[in-house]
Chain A
Amino acid sequence: MMPEYRKVSSKVLSKLEEVLGSENVSARTEELLCYARDSSIFVCRPEVVVRPKAAGHVAAVMKIANEEHIPVTPRSGGTSAAGSPLPVIGGILLDLSGMNRILSIDLDNQIVVTEPGVYCDTLNEELSKYGFFFPPDPASSPACTIGGMVNTNASGNRTIKYGPTRDYVLWLEVVLPNGKIVETGSKTLKSVSSYDLTRLIVGSEGSLGVVTKVALNIVPLPESYSTAFFIFDSVEALARAALKIRRAGMVPEMLEFMSRTTTKVSLDYAGIRGVPEGNFMLLDFGGPPEAVQAYLEKGVELCRQESPSYFETTVDPAYRQSLVNARKAALPALARIKPTTVMEDCTVPPTKLPESASRIERIPEEVGVPGFELGNFGHIGDGNMHPTFLFDSRIEEHRRAFLRSLDILYEQIVLPSGGSVTGEHGIGLIRAKYVGIEHPSTLTLMRDLKKLFDPNLILNPGKGKGGPYPLRAAEAII
């Protein structure tokens, strides 16, 4: 059951202004509407936005909210494609983007400590000066923040080789819903001295606590890269080629794909001309020059067995970067096509990729609504795809087609093939209804766990794994 929440009263506003300063609190409509969006389809307006600058501020806000039974939604970059940082029940929006300092870089121990509002690319730009990097590489890396990455266990283009964010988080400072500040894990490369609360918080979508500091393991940058891209006529052939790379025991830096529709707009955005139309696959190896060249040659040989219509190889860093940029721009580039663009996130076992990818391509045909289209792309190397629906949300028939497509995608394609309804974006609002279908035996346990951390259910309610589920179903607010 959803608890009764209170509204943000003028008394609460005064308390918030007292602890944060009035310049860091706003209930103006002009501000609220700007925080009502992320990259998802939803629009949910908070009652007040607050900008803490330190863990102490966050703690003070949580204490007030907990006493007053007011929901709190944490946010930093606001780039979620799932609605995770949207205040679906109103309440307080905690804008953590101002907590954006890199606190320490310890090269000897290969550990950095940051605040949650640091952009992923800003951290990596700084680390690159020393030859290091933080490997999870979401397509949104210029605009997404470390706090958001921790809370969604973000991954991206390089996950096939390096793993997701959780593999790098060593220690967290977290403000609990009652305002208590705790530390989880240890600032060491190994530790089993506690329950793994760090990993519990990672990926919890801001539902258990507010992350205010993060210690991350960093690793050396590869010495060089060797890159190829291929154009395949069919997405099945592309997926089979990707599977061959895996079966051969190769570990690429990136093994990415874009469907025909996505390829066209993304290459255009990145200024890459002269490539024939078709489904695009990027194969990239990182390491010593001789090794990456040998791997690439073998990789190209394997992929050519699936008869690509076109391929190129390169060791030019600038051209490689253009290819990576094209792939990273896939989602917003698709937004050129239709007024509304909604990205989904699903993972299937790699062996199921050819069949699943092909079936996903046919969803618009199955739904059969004129003007309702699809572009797909993703991390083909680890089975993680982002079917992206292109339509006009102002048209009722399109909205219904979208909701029907979600059911086809998750209930008829992903889950029956042994997949998961989210690989790296989180449950958010959009996938809340599928959690119980994927995890029927642990749903109650997850809800109990949520209550243990957050008895009043004030932290980011309506989303994520532990519920409570939205007062309004996702369908109602699309």
Chain B
Amino acid sequence: MTEKLYNLDDYREDMQRCMSCGLCNPLCPTAALCEWESGSPRGQIQLLKAMLDGEVKPNKYVASRLYNCTLCGYCLWRCPSAVKTTEAIKAGRALLVEKGGHPESLDELESNLLKEKNPLGLPQTSRTDWTRLAKSRIPVKEKADVVYFPGCFAAMTEPGKEVAVATASILDAAGLDWTILGDKEWCCGDHLISSGKVAHVKDFVSHNLEAVKDTDAKTLVTSCPRCYRIFHREYRRLAGEVGFNVLHITQLVDDLISSKKLLPSKSVKLAAAYHDPCELGRIMKVFEPPRRILKAIDGFELKEFQRNRNTATCCGAGGVFRFTDYSNALKLGAKRIDESIPLQVDAIVTACPTCKLNLHEAASQVGSGVKILDVTEIVARSL
């Protein structure tokens, strides 16, 4: 089944339709890192086509180009010809994994996922460590209305844990009947899809679906835009209707504030720029909920990057780029931090634990004093 779903041949007509107009190239975050045409979306399409037609064999050189991409979706959004470049790249990666040539670091990634159910290689038993940082007890119930699915980067990285803790305080403040899945939560599966290691994707999908369904929850809410997209789109593609609502935390909080079920009453004095996570914004079109939330908080001064919403610059951590090219992932993060300098802000606020982690590490590396926060942390401070 996975073979059929991630088949490069499915994108043959997209590749034929691509007329090499080049509109995808100038703002592609990773094209500039490579300089050669083969490292740009337009070139990647040519490589994929050649691989499909047997003109080039899957090899390490091709892999170096096809993994030179954060799957940020800029090319997808920009293309007037509706060429599904990033989807074709994912299918191309699956072919590279099948035939050989993929980066070796991805074998370790896959091994981590199969063994510990997360891409970070941390023990699955540590998935709930963040709960000890919370002020109140984090519920692990058999049944609940809402399942909070933090995602691996919120649950298991230090900057991410702050997001999970903040989210827990928001869910409590709103008086919701909620639970986490505890160690029954596995990676959503996107790291397998993005890396081309698609053989076991369905196991992750089935496991997570069963775990959520067992709770009889009507809603799944996640901190991670990647999990949000996967549950929304990929799970439906792979397993049909999931049987519950899927929300990103900013959508839920926006709704809670507008329906007065959540009252951010304390002032949070901060001037900050909102960074649109690629997965949440450009790909899933969730632009306004995080902005409405931030505007509802007294004392908070929201500023906009010059490149915002659909043209927002990628933080550098998309896809599996942090795993295959960590130094360039941080370089891209530093570029986004540079873009905040003219705005004279105290902080960059985002709505994605992976963006937060990458921007945080990039800021440390370049010695920037700008704080990297999540929307939920601002909301939690206002309660």
Contacts and interface: CB of A to CB of B under 8 A. Distances in A.
Interface of A: 26, 28-31, 33-39, 49, 51, 77-79, 95, 97-98, 119, 121-122, 140, 142-144, 265-266, 269, 329, 331-333, 335-336, 339-341, 394
A33 B47 contact: yes
B133 interface: no
Contact of B22 (A39, A265, A266): A39
B55 interface: yes
Given A26-B36, A39-B22, A336 B56 contact: no
Contacts of A329: 80
A122 B81 CA distance: 23
Nearest to A93: B37
Given A335-B81, A339-B13, A339-B16, A34 B22 contact: no
A97 B25 CA distance: 12
Contacts of B50: 29-30, 33
Contacts of A336: 17, 80-82
B81 A79 contact: no
A34 B21 contact: no
A143 B26 contact: yes
B62 interface: yes
Given A331-B19, A335-B19, 8 more contacts: A31-B37, A77-B22, A78-B20, A79-B20, A143-B22, A143-B23, A332-B79, A335-B17
Contacts of A37: 20, 42, 46
Nearest to A330: B80
B139 interface: no
A34 B15 CA distance: 13
Contacts of A78: 20, 22, 37, 42
22 contacts: A26-B36, A29-B55, A30-B38, A30-B56, A37-B20, A37-B42, A39-B20, A39-B21, A49-B36, A49-B37, A51-B36, A78-B37, A79-B20, A121-B26, A331-B80, A333-B80, A335-B18, A335-B80, A336-B17, A336-B80, A336-B81, A341-B81
A335 B38 CA distance: 22
Contacts of B26: 119, 121-122, 142-143
Contacts of A340: 16
Contacts of A122: 26
A51 B37 CA distance: 11
Interface of B: 13, 16-23, 25-27, 35-38, 42-43, 46-47, 50, 55-56, 61-62, 65, 79-82
B74 to A, nearest CB: 12
A269 to B, nearest CB: 5
- The secondary-structure label for the interface of chain A is mixed
Choose among B17, B36, B65 the residue with the greatest number of A CB atoms under 10 Å from its CB: B36
- The secondary-structure label for the interface of chain B is loop
Nearest to A335: B81
A29 B19 CA distance: 20
Q: Which 9 A-B pairs have the closest CB atoms?
A: A335-B81, A143-B22, A332-B80, A34-B43, A34-B37, A329-B80, A333-B80, A37-B20, A332-B81
A332 B55 contact: no
Contacts of B62: 30
Given A28-B61, A143-B26, A331 B20 contact: no
B66 to A, nearest CB: 10
A140 B21 contact: yes
A269 B80 contact: yes
B46 A33 contact: yes
B37 A29 contact: no
Contacts of B21: 39, 79, 140, 143, 331-332, 335
Contacts of B36: 26, 31, 34, 49, 51
Contacts of B22: 39, 77-79, 140, 143-144
A433 to B, nearest CB: 22
B17 to A, nearest CB: 5
A339 B82 CA distance: 12
Contacts of B20: 37-39, 78-79
Given A30-B47, A30-B65, A332-B79, A35 B37 contact: yes
Contacts of A119: 26
Contacts of A331: 19, 21, 80
A95 B37 contact: yes
A25 to B, nearest CB: 11
B46 A34 contact: yes
A51 B43 CA distance: 16
A102 to B, nearest CB: 14
Contacts of A269: 80
A123 B161 CA distance: 43
A33 B55 contact: yes
A187 B35 CA distance: 31
Choose among B17, B22, B23, B47 the residue with the greatest number of A CB atoms under 10 Å from its CB: B22
Choose among B46, B61, B65 the residue with the greatest number of A CB atoms under 10 Å from its CB: B46
B347 to A, nearest CB: 26
A4 B16 CA distance: 34
A77 B80 CA distance: 18
A152 B172 CA distance: 64
B142 to A, nearest CB: 45
A114 B46 CA distance: 30
A351 to B, nearest CB: 32
B19 A332 contact: yes
A114 to B, nearest CB: 15
B23 A142 contact: yes
A339 B80 CA distance: 14
B32 to A, nearest CB: 10
A79 B20 CA distance: 7
Contacts of A335: 17-19, 21, 80-81
Contacts of A341: 17, 19, 81
A34 B81 contact: no
